[in-house]
Amino acid sequence: MKTSFQQCILGADHAGVTLKLQCAQMLIAEGMPIEDVGSFDTTSVDYPDIAQQAVDLMAQSAGSAGILCCGSGIGMSMAANRSRSIRAALCHNAEFARLARAHNDANVLVLPARFLTAEEGLVIVRTFLTTSFEGGRHAKRIEKLHQLGG
């Protein structure tokens, strides 16, 4: 898999753990280095804790992509996007993933595990990781995102 990311940081709550593990297997088979911050089983956990661990690790690892999974994807998206350096995109299909990378330079993919099959999720991951940011007219918008907030 040809990607501009050097590694993937993976995380999931109890509802997303199965999809996360399937993503990890695919990435390992493709030779992509991964770091998995949990969860590792279906015991109930709080998604903000997992998202925080993932974005903290991303801050220490330049060139990393994040892949977060939870039931709807909404909670993980909200939690991850609290960090200024994160542009997390909740993607329900490959076209969302392509646009999130090409137009928004998203560095975290969030998957709604309860609404995707494993096959759909893996296609979305592959699309996200292999799509490059187009820059150009989109670059000034990304800069404006960095200026938002306090």
Distance CA 95, CA 113 (A): 17
DSSP structure string for 19-81: HHHHHHHHHHHTT--EEE----SSS---HHHHHHHHHHHHHHSTTEEEEEEESSSHHHHHHHT
DSSP structure string for 68-93: EEESSSHHHHHHHTTSTT--EEE-SS
Cβ pair 10, 35 in contact under 8 A? yes
Candidate list 92, 103, 138, 146, residue with the active-site label: 103
Catalytic site residue 103? yes
The residues carrying an active-site annotation are 103
